[in-house]
Chains A and B, each alone.
Chain A
Amino acid sequence: MVSFTLNGKAVQAAQGTTILEAAKAAGVEIPHLCYLKDVNEIGACRLCVVEIEGVQRLAPACETLVTEGMVVRTESPRVLAARKVNLQLILSKHRTSCTTCIRNKNCVLQDLSSQFNLLDIPYDVKPEKNAKDLRCPIVRDASKCVQCMRCVQVCDKIQQVHIWDAVGNGSRSVVDTANRKAVVDTDCTFCGQCVTHCPTGALTARDDTDRVLKALANPQLTTVIQVAPAIRAAWCEAFGLDAKTATVGKMVSALKALGFNYVFDTNFSADLTIMEEGSELLARLKDAKNYSWPMFTSCCPGWVRYAKNTYPEFVGNLSTAKSPQQMFGAVAKTYFTEKVGVDAKNLFVVSVMPCSAKKAESELPTMQGANGDPDVDAVLTTREFCRLLKFLNVDPTKLEEAAFDSPLGTGTGAAVIFGATGGVMEAALRSAYYLVTGKNPDADAFAKDRPTADKPWQEGTVEIPGFGKLHTAVASGLGNTRALLDSIKNGTTKVDFVEIMACPGGCAGGGGQPIHEGKEMAATRANTLWELDANSTLRFSHENADVLALYKEFLESPLSEKSHHLLHTDHKGW
C-alpha cells in the first residue's frame, strides 16, 4: 500500500494505482473525458490534471501513479483554470448542438461543461467538416468528435478489429477509419462497441425511428414488432428504473402503446432457432466426416460478418440457421400472414434489438422473402425504442402488465438467455440432450460451464447418454473470439460446438443497448436474463407449444425442406 495526501487528507491506495482511481476510491471524483478504465488511459484530454506538490507541471490523474508521500490537490485554483481552458479548447473543435443531439442529456462533454460552469468559448469554433454516411448502421459525425481515442482503443484492444485510427498529422490529426475508407467498405462488424463507448454524439447507430413512425401512420400496413431477449433487461435503464420495476409485462404494454398491431417476442424464434440449430448440430455429428469442425452458432450478425471478413476459412463451419430476428421475419411474412389473412406485402415487421449489426443483417440480400421484400423491414436499437417511448410520452411506471400477442409471442427460459453470453449454447444443449435421449436434462445441468469475464473463452464438456461427449466453447467479444479461433486453428483447442457473440457479455452488452458513461452493464443485465430463465415454467425450447404448432401446421419438422428454405441461409450468398 502507498500512503499519500489527497486534498489535505491522508489516504491509502494499492501500489500501481493511478491518482484518478485512488481518488475515486477515496470518494473524490476527478473530472475526465477521454479516460476509460483499462482501455484508454492515455492522458489525451488533460481535464483530469491535478497538482502534485514538488512538481511544477500539472499531472494527468489518469496515467500518473500515486507514490509514497505524494501530496495531491485535485481542485486548486490553478487546476480549475487549466481544466477550463482545456475544455474550451476541446469545445472549439466540437459542433455543439445539444438540443438536436442524440446524446443530449447523456453526454460527458455536456456534463463537464455544465460542471465547469462554462458560459462561453473564447476561441473560434471550427469543428471538423463532416458528411454523414447512412449506408451502414455505424454513423460517424466528425464534427462532434473530441478525439478521445476511445473508439480506436475499444476496437483495437477489446474487439481487435482495428477499424478506427488516428490519421493525419499534427494539428490536422483526426480520427477516421484506418485507411480513410467509408465504414461500409471496411471490415467493420457493426458491433457498435465504439458507439457505446463514445462520450459524445460523434459515433451513433443510425436512427431508423422515422421509418417506423411512417409505417405506423400508414393505414395500409399491418405492423408487427418483435423484441429481442436482451431488451427486457435493459430498457428500464433509460427511465432510471430497475428490471424488477420495469417488468416484461410492462415492456409489452409499452410496445403496444407505440401503436403496433401485434407485439411479438423474438424469444419465440429463439426457441425455433434452437430446434433448427440443435437438429443441425446432431445431423452434422451423424455425418461428421462431411463437415468441418467445430460448428459455430450463427445468431450474432457481428460475428458472422467478422468470420466472413477475418476468418473466411471458418465460414463453412457456421450453422446455416438464420438468426432469431430473421427467422421471425421469415415466419411472420409466411406462416403468420397466412394465418391472419394479410398480404405479406402489407406486413411491416420491426424488431427491437440490443444491436446495431442487426440493422445490416436485415438488409442482406439473403434475408428477403419470395416477393423480394426484406423479412424484417426496420430494426430499432434498445436506445431507439426508448427514444420512441419518450417521444410518445409513455411512462413505464404507469403501465399495466400485458401479455405478448399470439401466435409468435411465446418463449421459454431457454430463449431468454440468448441475450447473455453462453445462453445459446446452454439452450442448445438442453434441447440437444432431449433430442438424443428423449428425456429432459436438469435445466441447470449445464450451468457449471457458463462463461465468466476473467477468461477469454469458456470450454465445457457435456456427456449425453447414448451419444457420448460433446466439447463446447463459448466466447464473447471479438478479441476473445480471435484468441479462441487461433487456438482452434493451431490445434490447441479441440471442440465440437462453439457459441460466439461479437459484443463482450453477449447481447446484454450489445452495441444497441443504453449507454452509461464509465459503466459496463452486461453482467447486470445478464443476471436479469438468467433469473428470468430460472423463474420460467418452461425452460426447454422443444417445449414451446407455439413452436411445435408451427412445425405441425406449417414447417413439418426441423430441417425440413420448408424449414431449410425459410429458416436457413447461405453465408456465402453475400
Chain B
Amino acid sequence: MNRLELKTPLQLQSTLDQLHDGMARRLAAAPPGLCPVETALNYLILSRSQSCGKCVPCRVGLNTLAELLEQLLDGEGNADTVRLLEETATVIADTSDCAIGQEAANALLLSLKGFREDYLEHAATGHCLVGKKEPIPCRANCPADVDIPGYIALVRAGRPADAIRLIRKDNPFPVACAYICEHPCEGHCRRKMVDDAVNIRAIKRYAVDAAGDVPQPACAPATDKKIAVIGGGPCGLTAAYFLTLMGHKVTVFEQRKQLGGMMRYGIPSYRFPREVLDAEIASILSLGIEAKTNVAVGKDDLSLTNLRKQFDAVFLCIGAHTDKKLRIEGEDSKGVISAVKLLRGIGDGEHPDFTGKRVVVVGGGNVAMDCTRSAVRLGAEKVICAYRRRIEDMTALPEEVQGAIAEGAEVMQLTAPLKIEADDQGNVVAFWAKPQIIGEVGKDGRPAPKDADADPIRIPCDIVLVAIGQGIDSKDFENEGVPCGRGGWIKSDDATEIPGMPGVFAGGDVATGPATVIKAIAAGKVAAANIDKFLGFHHEIVKDIPMPDPTFADLQAHGRVNPAERPADERKHDFVCMEHAYTKQEAAEECGRCLRCDCFGFGSFKGGRKERW
C-alpha cells in the first residue's frame, strides 16, 4: 500500500462533469412558464442525490420534502401539506450539518415564498396556476416580440430583405438592434441545451448589411388624427412609426439637435456608426413623420395642457437624460465630467481632446464602459475604470469589459470613490478611493462591497468621468398633473396609459428608469397599439411574408460563431465601427444552429408565429 497517492481524475468523474455541464446549460435554457412546484421537486431530487447520508435532516428530510411535493402534484395534498413542507424545510435549513442539506431546504423555502399562490392552488385544486406555455423562448424573451426564428430562417434562405421586413413588423429598428441590442432573446435560447445560444444579434447584423436599403411599407389611409410624440429616441420613433403606418399624423418633438435619443447621445459611434443610425432614422421618417428638433416641451405654448388641446393623443417618452452625482468632495472641480455630458457631445460630433490626459471613469455599467472606451479613443494617455465591486459584479456586458481592457484601459475593482483632489485653480489632479473588500450577498442577490482595512489610495488624474447612472427630468409634466414616482418616473400602466389622463401615454426610460433600446422599442409598440385603440381604431400590423420550410436535421453540437472585431490596437484610435459583420459563410453556419422552435416542439402544435398585432 502506498503511503499517499496522486489523485487522478476518474473516467467516471469526467462523465459526471460532462453531465453537470449539460444540466447547467439546460437549466439556463429552461423555458418560461414552468410549474414552480414540479420545478422545486426536481431540484430537490437533484439535491437529495448529493446528500452524503450522515445527518438526519438532509438524508431523511429532503426525501420527505420530495414526497410531500409529489402529494401536492398528484392532487393528494392540502393546505396542511404546504404548512408541513414549510415547517420541515425550515428545520432542515436550520439543522443540516452542511451546505448540501441547508441550501436544498433554502431553495425550497425560496420557492415556497415566491410562489406561495401556486402551492396553495395545487393544494386546493391539484393543479397549477401557471399553464402558459411559450413555444419559442427567444420570442418570449424579446420585449418587442420579434419573430426571431422567422427572420433567421429568411436569412438562411438568402432573403435578407424579407428578414428586415419581418423584423419591422414588430420593431422599426432592425439596424439599431443589429448593432447594439442587448439580445435578451439569447438568454433562454433552446440551443443552449445542445451547446450555446444562437448568436441572434450577429445574424441580424448580417441581415441588415446584406439587405441594404429596404423600402418601407405603405401607410393605411389617413385618419386625420394627430398625435404628439414627446421625445425622438427609440421609444418615440417606434410609436411614431407604427402610428404613421396606421394612418395617423404624428409630430415628434425632440429637445436635442438630432433624433435618436440614447442611440445617438448615449452609445458611441464605434458601437453604432452614425451614418447607419441616420439612414435608419431617415427611413422611418420617410413614412411622413414630422420631426421638430431643438424643441423643449413642457412649458408655455408647448405645455402638456396645450399639446393635449392641439393633438388627439400625446405620448411622453423623454427618456432618462440627467446625470447622477457622486456626492463626494471635489465633485465640482474642473475636469469632472458626467457621462451624459461627454456622450451627448460625442453624439453631436463634439469630440473633446484627451490627448496626454489621465482619465478615471467611475462606474461599472455599460455607460461606464462607453466612457472608458471613448476616453481611450479621445487620445487619453491612461484610462482607469474604478468600480467599487468586483469585475464579475459589473452590470456591463462582459464583452464590453474585455474590449475595454483589450484597448488598454485598466479596470480597478473594489475601488470606491472617496474624494476628488483639485489644484489651486480647481483643476482635478487626483481621484481618491477607498479600497473595498467584497462582503455578504445583499437582498438584491449581489455581494455588497465594504471598506477594507487599508489606507485610501490616490490615483493621479486630469479628468474624472462619472458614469453611475442617469436620472429623469419630468418636473414640467408633474406640475401639470402627470403622476410621477420616485426618481421622476412617470407612472403609466402596462398599456402605457396614464390613469386619469385619457389620451396621454408614457413609456420607455421615463416610465421604467434607464433600460435598453429594445425595451424602449417595445414600449413604443405597445403605446402605438393602445393609442390607436384610444382613437377608436383597430389598425393591424400584419406579416405577409411566406416563410421557408424547416429542414429536419441532427442536433450536432456546434460552436457559437462570434463576429470578428477590428484589432484592439487599430480600433482604439478612432470612432469607426469596431465589429465586423459576419461573412456569408459565418452567417450560414450560425443560422444553421437555430432549432426553429417555431416549427418543432410546442411551436408546431400551438403555432410559432404571430401573424398580426
Contacts and interface: CB of A to CB of B under 8 A. Distances in A.
Interface string A27-70: 00000000000000111100000001001110110011101000
Nearest to B36: A169
Interface string B1-43: 0000000000000000000000000000000011100100000
Given A41-B604, A180-B125, A166 B133 contact: yes
Interface in B532-576: 549, 551-556
Interface residues on A, range: 20 to 34
Contacts of A41: 604
Given A167-B131, A169-B128, A180-B125, A57 B554 contact: yes
Contact of B34 (A43, A64, A170): A170
A59 B127 contact: no
Interface in B582-601: 599-600
Contacts of A166: 133, 605
Most chain B beta carbons < 10 A, residue from A42, A52, A56, A67: A42
A389 to B, nearest CB: 39
Interface in B435-470: none
A312 interface: no
Contacts of B33: 169
Contacts of B549: 16, 65
A289 interface: no
A172 B33 CA distance: 14
A41 B128 CA distance: 28
B130 interface: yes
B130 A169 contact: yes
A67 B127 contact: no
Interface string A383-412: 000000000000000000000000000000
Contacts of A44: 605
A172 B128 CA distance: 10
B73 interface: yes
Contact of B552 (A64, A167, A172, A180): A64
A494 to B, nearest CB: 21
Contacts of A168: 35, 127-128, 131
Contact of A169 (B38, B551, B553): B38
Given A67-B551, A167-B131, A172 B35 contact: yes
A180 B131 CA distance: 11
Given A149-B605, A168-B131, A52 B552 contact: yes
Contacts of A169: 33-35, 38, 128, 130-131, 133
10 shortest interchain CB distances as A-B pairs:
A169-B35, A64-B552, A42-B605, A56-B554, A59-B552, A42-B604, A167-B131, A170-B38, A65-B549, A57-B554
Given A43-B604, A169-B128, 17 more contacts: A42-B605, A44-B605, A57-B555, A59-B552, A60-B552, A63-B604, A153-B605, A166-B133, A166-B605, A168-B35, A168-B131, A169-B33, A169-B35, A169-B38, A169-B133, A170-B35, A172-B35
24 contacts: A16-B549, A42-B604, A44-B605, A52-B552, A55-B552, A55-B554, A56-B554, A57-B554, A57-B555, A63-B604, A64-B552, A65-B551, A149-B605, A152-B605, A167-B127, A168-B35, A168-B128, A169-B34, A169-B35, A169-B38, A170-B34, A172-B35, A172-B73, A180-B125
A170 B41 CA distance: 12
Contact of B553 (A55, A65, A149): A55
Contacts of B133: 166, 169
Interface of B: 33-35, 38, 73, 125, 127-128, 130-131, 133, 549, 551-556, 599-600, 604-605
Contacts of B553: 55
Most chain A beta carbons < 10 A, residue from B34, B130, B552: B552
A153 B604 CA distance: 11
A56 B125 CA distance: 44
A370 B345 CA distance: 89
A487 to B, nearest CB: 15
Contacts of A67: 551
A56 B553 CA distance: 8
Contacts of A43: 600, 604
A35 to B, nearest CB: 12
A516 B602 CA distance: 28
A167 to B, nearest CB: 5
Contacts of A149: 605
Interface string A201-241: 00000000000000000000000000000000000000000
Contacts of B600: 43
A57 B556 CA distance: 10
Nearest to B131: A167
A476 to B, nearest CB: 24
B604 A172 contact: no
Interface string A135-174: 0000000000000010011000000000000111110100
B605 A172 contact: no
A57 B554 CA distance: 6
B144 to A, nearest CB: 26
A15 B556 CA distance: 26
B152 to A, nearest CB: 18
A87 B404 CA distance: 57
A67 B549 CA distance: 11
A167 B551 CA distance: 29
Contacts of A172: 35, 38, 73
Nearest to B73: A172
B605 to A, nearest CB: 5
A168 B127 CA distance: 7
Contacts of B130: 169
Interface in A167-213: 167-170, 172, 180
Contacts of B555: 57
A41 B553 CA distance: 18
Contacts of B556: 56
A46 B61 CA distance: 39
A436 to B, nearest CB: 41
Nearest to A19: B552
B39 to A, nearest CB: 8
Contacts of A63: 599, 604
Contacts of A152: 605
Most chain A beta carbons < 10 A, residue from B33, B73, B556, B604: B604
B271 to A, nearest CB: 40
B128 to A, nearest CB: 6
Contacts of B605: 42, 44, 149, 152-153, 166
Nearest to A153: B605
A55 B549 CA distance: 17
Nearest to A63: B604
Contacts of A56: 554, 556
B439 to A, nearest CB: 38
B205 to A, nearest CB: 29
Contacts of A64: 552
A170 B605 CA distance: 15
Nearest to A174: B127
Interface in A299-313: none
A170 B34 CA distance: 8
Nearest to A129: B75
A169 B599 CA distance: 20
Nearest to B125: A180
A163 to B, nearest CB: 15
A174 to B, nearest CB: 10
A182 to B, nearest CB: 13
Contacts of A170: 34-35, 38
A57 B131 CA distance: 30
A149 B604 CA distance: 12
Nearest to B75: A129
A166 B128 CA distance: 13
Contacts of A16: 549
